[in-house]
A = this chain, B = another copy of it.
């Protein structure tokens, strides 16, 4: 049930009309020749693949799930074939390095691709999605030999990749991990241990799987400073680069989960599996963070994808389902009842979904472009500024967008009423799939600590001030425009509140570091709204200029006005909660709980 129409027009609005990505690409030698037609062709073709090939497998895949038998994992019907199509079309190589067979397109285009894939089938998309993270880690930290052996296979999609971090007794706290790596005479390592929650850890979609595994060398320091990163292939490539001996890394069982049923979440047993070190000894965590940051942006895109698909279906249902009359008098007297879209609270839920989807698309596209600048811009200052923005705002991409996605997919269920709870209609799957996005790749609580404790207070607010200046400049440039004041005034207001709140929390944290943890989660939502206010104001500016030309822009303005009137005000509560401090959290003794 349900349907999916790729939001190509909305993506084009963001990429071309607001961000003007082409101009930015022109400033980077690596991407200077990318024109609007290329960009449009990529998202249109990706939209077709997502809606025509992946979307029809989403519900059947959820129902069927993955099957495990004696270390072998079978994915649902059609998954393998869809992956073969994906590989044949060259999608895995989109933003990979041409030196290793990639197409060398900007990461921001890959990001747009992933919105589409995630809307259509999140669990399927995790198979190629994790490969890309593995590609980036090896690309950034691998030796030339490792790069030559593995990157072309990852870029082509012939082989897929995983991240093997978590163990039964440690998830957030990787310093506790126990998996051991013994050096071998040939320069390799024999790795033994148990990893859990390994997404796409075993499957039948590709001939080989490359596991990026965190483990400890003999005598390594305790904690996070004694962890190294290894690449451990399921089949060890032979001298010709083809798959060779089966490595003793295998899937012991699959987890039964609330959602993402069709992605294999594996317990992986390593019993002297042979691996090669990526990066330097004991510095595996830093190397892994290349993957982690990409993965966090990726999780944000999952949140966006689910918000969009839930919105589309809730909107269609709300226009179709007849139930009760409008409180202000029948709107469709010729029908047995009015379609439920007439009811203000139904509109509130739909507009919430829409405003969060469009805000997330705008913000995530901007940050993906910042990553492109960080990676490819010739000017060092531009690279540094972009890197700071990316570091500062990655927790917002990951946590704010996914928290919104959970709220929005639940609105989708609520719009459907009782039918929303029934599997057949497809709406409850989006809730179940969205739930994990608030947890994995660092829980949203961990993101909030990263944001306030490390990214903001950690550099005495330097990165935050820099991003604040972007907002201030926008406010100053547009505050003189009477038509922009309805957007610029609340933006300026929330930016000031954030500044004040950040100062207050910084002072308190100097007295007691627990004040950071006591405020971080509501604080994160306040900053998220500041970011969304900025991007909604930017979208409104473009829409105002073209308002008379097309209803598309009128709808954009209506959504912007809804955002500022109805969503931004939740910050009033969160600011109070952030300011309420640590005292009442500690007033309860542990043994009273």
Give A residues with C-beta under 8 Å from B: 166, 169-173, 175-176, 196-197, 255-259, 315, 318-319, 322-324, 326-328, 336-337, 341, 343-348, 350-351, 354, 406, 410, 413-414, 417-418, 420-424, 428, 431-432, 435-436, 438-440, 443-445, 448-449, 453, 512-514, 516-518, 520-521, 551, 554-555, 558-559, 561-562, 565-566, 569-577, 580-593
Contact = CB atoms under 8 A, between A and B. Distances in A.
Given A347-B588, A569-B577, A421 B436 contact: yes
A282 B567 CA distance: 44
Contacts of A428: 257-258, 435
Contacts of A323: 170-173, 176
Contacts of A572: 572-573, 575-576
B414 A439 contact: yes
A255 B566 CA distance: 36
Contacts of A255: 422-424
Contacts of A558: 584, 587-589, 592
A215 to B, nearest CB: 18
Instruction: Please report whether the interface of chain A is mostly helix, strand, loop or mixed according to DSSP.
Output: helix
Given A439-B417, A584-B566, A432 B593 contact: no
A524 to B, nearest CB: 10
Nearest to A564: B584
A310 to B, nearest CB: 14
Contact of A327 (B513, B562, B570): B513
A337 B421 contact: no
Nearest to A562: B584
A362 to B, nearest CB: 18
7 contacts: A327-B516, A328-B513, A344-B585, A414-B439, A414-B444, A417-B439, A566-B585
A546 to B, nearest CB: 15
B257 A423 contact: yes
A593 B562 contact: no
Residue in A166, A176, A565, A585 whose Cβ sees the most chain B Cβ within 10 Å: A585
Give this chain's copy count: 2
A421 B439 contact: yes
Contacts of A449: 345
Nearest to A554: B592
A422 B514 contact: no
Contacts of A520: 345
Contact of A439 (B170, B418, B551, B589): B418
A350 B418 CA distance: 30
A327 B587 contact: no
A491 to B, nearest CB: 16
A351 B518 CA distance: 12
Residue in A350, A406, A559, A573 whose Cβ sees the most chain B Cβ within 10 Å: A573
A149 B444 CA distance: 57
Contact of A414 (B326, B424, B445): B445
Contacts of A445: 343, 345-346, 414
Contacts of A351: 584-585, 588
